[in-house]
Amino acid sequence: MSDAKSPSSPASKQTPSVPPPGAAPMDIANRYARRTYMARILLDVIGRPAAIVGLFWIAVMVFFAVFGPLVATSHALIARTADGSLVFPVWDYITPVDFTLIFGSLATLAIFLCKLTPRLALVVAVWGLTTAATALAAWTKAEPRTIVGIGISPVAVAVILSVLAVAAGGYATWGRRTAGGVLVVLLPVILGFAAQKPSVGIELFDSSRQRLAEGEFVWARFAPVPFSPQDRMRDTREDKRFQPPGTPHLVLSRVDTAGEERAVIKEWSHIMGTDRNGHDLASRLIHGSRVSLTIGFIATGIAVVIGVVIGALMGFFSGWVDLLGMRLVEIFGAIPVIYLLILVAAVYDRNIYLMMVIIGLTGWVGYATFIRAEFLKLRQVDYVQAAIALGVPLRLVLMRHMLPNGITPVLVSASFGVAGAILTESTLSFLGLGLPPGEPSWGGALNEAVGAGEVYPWIVILPGTMIFLTVLAYNLVGESLRDAIDPRTTRAA
Amino acid sequence: MLMIPTLIGVTAVIFFTMALAPGGFQGETAAEGGDRTEGVDARIRRNYFNKRYGLDEPAVVQYLRWMNLISPFGFKTSNDVEFTAEERAAVGQLTADAVELGGIGDRRRVRDIIIALAQYRDLDLLATVEETLPLFTDRDELLAMFARFDSDLPESSERFATELADLEERGNEAAIRSFLIFELELESGRRARVLFERGPWFKMPSLGETLGREPVLDRIKRAVPVTLLLNVVSVPVIYLIAVLSGIYAGRSRGGKFDVLSGLFFIILWSLPTVWVGVMMINFLTNNQYINWFPLAGLSSPEAAEWPMLPRWGGEEGFIPGWLLDRTWHMVLPVICLSYGGFAVLSKLARGSILENISADYARTARAKGVSDRDVLFRHVLKNSLLPLITVFVSILPALFAGSVVVERIFSIPGMGYMGIEAAFAKDRDLILGTALIASILSLSCFLLRDILYAIVDPRVSYE
């Protein structure tokens, strides 16, 4: 579910601006009034310049997070071999996760652009299916690992999640012919893709460049940033560490032509310089965006779900449930998350998913108190009382009547929460307690600026700028959301 | 009083987060702390940690043991036996002798070994000393003792015998002694299992010992004041700037200053502390750029001998003095810590001033002809500051979190620095202790906040 949430959320923010299909032309005021509270808030937010700037940057980051493996890679995207056939060298190095993200995002985009009707259901179904395909593709390679004492493989988790997602999608689309048809068409396509996916062996970053240099490729197109984040291969210089931006990266022919120097076939430049290990900084930053964004989205998603459930129960039932919940809130509010994460980093394996879970498990307190306060108010409101009196099932009272009216403050703090989670992740990576060493992350890149002995301005400035801009973007969106739902400011504006 | 169950809950969360780690704590330590990851050495080391922390018991029992250790009320265990003056003297003598023998290494280790042996065998310490001393030279006796001790680790004594023989063959006296000491240390760790000395009663809470056998409490006692100093200095800085800008923003609502300061503060708020710290370190303390501020620490190495205040003249010329030196070192960390707080607080200050400025009493005052300035500073400000006073207690926990990074970047030996060091060293008790103290600090901040609420606003009551 949370997978489905991430790429669809920027898109879903745009939905209110599109008039509902088939709606008769109406005057604006009328249309505005007919929208739900939530849609009105979102519409209001989209109209604010600060939010536009923020959303734009987030969209750019989402693009990098999804298409990073195609934007920054050492392998040629497309090439023509000497015998005239077209090959796609980069395809061999697309991991199942990359595949899921790229395919799922494209499908989601298509669904929204083509205005296919049961949008949400389709999106959920597509993401479920792609995840399932990924799990299948990874099935043979993954080794089972022990998580919290239970031997369980990540693939099994992925399969369970995707089965749940497909079930949810199927449930929602039941009886709708469009969706059913699309599902039937998509299923074999995705499974076929997954089955075709060859397993990645040792990654030779130079292979495309060398094949071009040696004439095996007649013609090749490379990515805008033609370096993989782990690409440490050096063709010419002995020392590629801490090279300033613009340093050329030469590709020489391996074959000595007539006993002369090896000819320079092509040269690229490291547009943002290189880091301590000679990795291309631009590439690492692009790939790092995925880590930051997924941590932000998923950790906040976990926190929001837990917080909403606990807060709703506390607010609706009050009494001893409330008392118990408040104690839980106090306990988790008092734990300093950063120290807990340090502790986790000390005893567990370095693991991005664990980090998400921990940030999520400790971050729900704020959401729970917001929802609790809203629900305490809402349950006295006439329409809720009416719903209860009519015998509407509790599930529906909570989910359909109360939640949509109480969730807006959570939305605000969730967007600040994403910013906070990104900050936490980069802080931990900076301290060396975050991701496994070698994985690209913004905090890790920033860490290289400390203790380098000398100041390398691009290492100091660029990764920090990425963190800063992303956090700022979320804060701007959050601020706009807050202004939008705050009756005092709306009246003034 | 509800703090106590909350605190217990906090300890439970912290402990079980750690105890539920796959493979447990000892696996990691054995793999990374030891020299060899496979074979007998690793197994012995794992055994050592098992015994020392009771890791072979179920997590709940471990938790209860740890709770017993840290609570001020509970069973007195063999880990915190008090010794008499003679016993201490005897141990001191033994340590001196042992060091004289050479190849011993750390005095503290020897002392620990002997104490542990004495406890284990329920012997008088003096007697143990007398008995143990010859062991450093008499091999058969030592082997016999191990044979008596060893019931669950047979390969240890076997290997011990072979390796000892091997060493003797080569005639390396110093190596033999350090080998013996190592074995004894492992033994002492294994015997340091909790023995309930007497029934539940009040005792000194302890946080255990670091890997270097130093009481964790001592380390924390040294670290906490440093962190508190940083945070307590940052708070007035935050308040001064935030309240001033809040007042002006509130006064010129919707004006240029309001909008610009709002934007400025949100930008400040979004600036990651790590980045600001790194930039400061790189650009303000470096010879390549501006070398204005000291790079690390809280005072210069020679500052301990300096007088408090700056002094001129004398043969050394100008001495900056301890106070100035400390201030100089704290400029960058405090900036780092406090800039993020401006945004939150100035927004609160602005809101609270806006709320009060349009309140009835302010309007009345204005209607009576009081000047705008006086209304703002004499009537409104007082009332608007009330909520802000209580806020400072709730931003303190956030500051603690922030100071982890700041301490790390500027190498300030506070809580956060210690916690990170402990995480890298995989020092169980130290990590747990740091997390616990940090939680207690933030809990007491919450308590203080509630009390302050009740004091400044008589309408609030907790009955």
What pLDDT digit, counting tens, does each position of B48-103 carry? Answer: 566 556 566 666 777 777 777 676 666 655 444 444 455 555 555 555 555 555 44
Q: Which of B:267-326 have CB within 8 Å of A?
A: 267, 269-275, 278-279, 281-283, 286, 288-289
Indicate left, alpha or beta for A246 from its phi (over 0: left) and psi (-120 to 50: alpha). Answer: left
Closest CA to A101 of A139, A68, A57: A68
Q: What is the pLDDT of residue B193?
A: 44
**Are A464 and B279 a contacting pair at CB < 8 A?**
yes
Closest CA to A221 of A337, A119, A76, A71: A76
Mutate to test the interface with B, among A53, A327, A338, A490 (most CBs of B within 10 A): A338
Which chain B residues contact residue A348 at CB under 8 A? 21-22
Measured in angstroms, the CA of B239 and the nearest CA of chain A are apart by 22
Q: What is the mean pLDDT of residues B158-185?
A: 59
Which chain A residues contact residue B279 at CB under 8 A? 460-461, 464
**Is the Cβ of B259 closer than 8 Å to some Cβ of chain A?**
no
Please tell me which of the candidates B9, B22, B416 has its beta carbon nearest to residue A331. B9
**Are B278 and A479 a contacting pair at CB < 8 A?**
no
ipTM above 0.90, yes or no: no
**Is the Cβ of A431 closer than 8 Å to some Cβ of chain B?**
yes
Q: What is the pLDDT of residue A102?
A: 79
In angstroms, the first-to-last Cα distance of chain A is 37
Which chain B residues contact residue A346 at CB under 8 A? 28, 422-424, 426, 431
B357 alpha carbon, distance to own chain's centre: 44
Residue in chain A lying closest to B403 (CA): A338
Q: Is the pLDDT of residue B332 over 80?
A: yes
Which chain B residues contact residue A327 at CB under 8 A? 2, 5-6, 9
Q: Identify whether the C-beta of residue A186 lies closer than 8 Å to the C-beta of residue A126.
A: yes
Measured in angstroms, the CA of A98 and the nearest CA of chain B are apart by 28
CA–CA dist B107, B339 (Å, integer): 47
Q: What is the pLDDT of residue B24?
A: 47
Q: Is the pLDDT of residue B341 over 60?
A: yes
**Are A349 and B400 a contacting pair at CB < 8 A?**
no
Residues 6+ apart with CB under 8 A from A85: none
**Is the Cβ of B336 closer than 8 Å to some Cβ of chain A?**
no
Query: Which of A201-205, A264-268, B1-5, B423-427 tops mean pLDDT?
Result: B423-427
B175 alpha carbon, distance to own chain's centre: 36
**Is the Cβ of A332 closer than 8 Å to some Cβ of chain B?**
yes
Verdict on whether the full-model pTM lies above 0.80: no
CA–CA dist A62, A294 (Å, integer): 9
**Is the Cβ of A258 closer than 8 Å to some Cβ of chain B?**
no
Q: What is the pLDDT of residue B93?
A: 58
Q: Identify whether the C-beta of residue A361 lies closer than 8 Å to the C-beta of residue A304.
A: no
Mutate to test the interface with B, among A343, A462, A490 (most CBs of B within 10 A): A343
Question: Tokens 């807050």 map to which residue?
Answer: A482
Q: Which residue has the higher pLDDT, B360 or B80?
A: B360
Instruction: Please work out, in degrees rounded to the nearest 5, the angle formed at the alpha carbon of residue A436 by the alpha carbons of A430 and A439.
Output: 80
Q: Is the pLDDT of residue B376 over 50?
A: yes
Q: Which of A:127-156 have CB within 8 Å of B?
A: 145-149
Measured in angstroms, the CA of A459 and the nearest CA of chain B are apart by 10
**Are A342 and B420 a contacting pair at CB < 8 A?**
yes
Residue in chain B lying closest to A424 (CA): B272
**Are A335 and B269 a contacting pair at CB < 8 A?**
no
**Are A443 and B274 a contacting pair at CB < 8 A?**
yes
Q: What is the mean pLDDT of residues B322-337?
A: 79
Measured in angstroms, the CA of B176 and the nearest CA of chain A are apart by 34
Closest CA to B330 of B242, B231, B441: B231
Please tell me which of the candidates A331, A347, A358 has its beta carbon nearest to residue B28. A347
**Is the Cβ of B10 closer than 8 Å to some Cβ of chain A?**
yes
Is B172 exposed, middle or buried, given 0-12, 13-18 or 19+ CB atoms closer than 10 A?
A: middle
Residue in chain A lying closest to B435 (CA): A339
Mutate to test the interface with A, among B1, B4, B17, B283 (most CBs of A within 10 A): B17
Closest CA to B405 of A336, A282, A469, A473: A336
Residue in chain A lying closest to B29 (CA): A347
Q: What is the mean pLDDT of residues B273-289?
A: 80
Q: What is the pLDDT of residue A163?
A: 58
CA–CA dist B462, B453 (Å, integer): 10
Q: Which of A:298-327 have CB within 8 Å of B?
A: 327
Mutate to test the interface with A, among B8, B29, B210, B274 (most CBs of A within 10 A): B274
Please tell me which of the candidates B267, B409, B426 has its beta carbon nearest to residue A346. B426
Average of per-residue pLDDT values in chain B = 68
**Are B438 and A339 a contacting pair at CB < 8 A?**
yes
Query: Which of A346-360, A376-390, B309-323, B364-378 tops mean pLDDT?
Result: A376-390
Residues 6+ apart with CB under 8 A from B197: B75, B76, B77, B78, B81
Query: What token pair was written down for A323?
Result: 């008392």
Q: Which SS3 state, helix, strand or coil, does residue B44 take? A: helix
Nearest 10 degrees: Cα torsion B217, B223, B227, B228? 50
The pLDDT tens digits of the residues spanning A426-484 come to: 888 888 887 777 778 888 888 887 766 677 888 888 888 999 999 999 988 888 888 88
Which chain A residues contact residue B18 at CB under 8 A? 343-344, 347
CA–CA dist B207, A432 (Å, integer): 26
Q: What is the mean pLDDT of residues B210-239?
A: 80
Residue in chain B lying closest to A468 (CA): B271
Q: What is the pLDDT of residue B73?
A: 64
| Sequence-distant contacts of A138-146: CB under 8 A, at least 24 apart | A138/A96, A140/A199, A141/A199, A145/B22, A146/B22, A146/B23
How many residue contacts between A and B have a Cβ separation below 8 Å?
155
Q: Which residue has the higher pLDDT, A73 or B3?
A: A73
Measured in angstroms, the CA of A70 and the nearest CA of chain B are apart by 28
Query: Which of A152-161, B32-41, B343-352 tops mean pLDDT?
Result: B343-352
CA–CA dist A376, A92 (Å, integer): 55
**Is the Cβ of A346 closer than 8 Å to some Cβ of chain B?**
yes
CA–CA dist B300, B319 (Å, integer): 12
Residues 6+ apart with CB under 8 A from A341: A355, A358, A359, A424, A428, A433
Strands (E), A3-143: 78-81, 86-87
CA–CA dist B39, B49 (Å, integer): 16
A404 to A34, A306, B166, B387, B397: CA distances (angstroms): 16, 16, 77, 31, 32
Sign of CA dihedral A40, A42, A43, A48: positive
B414 to B217, B225, B236, B401, B419: CA distances (angstroms): 13, 8, 20, 12, 9
Tell me which residues of chain A have a pLDDT lower than 50.
1-26, 140, 142-155, 192, 194-199, 235-236, 490-493
Q: Which of B:389-418 have CB within 8 Å of A?
A: 397, 400-401, 404-405, 408-409, 416
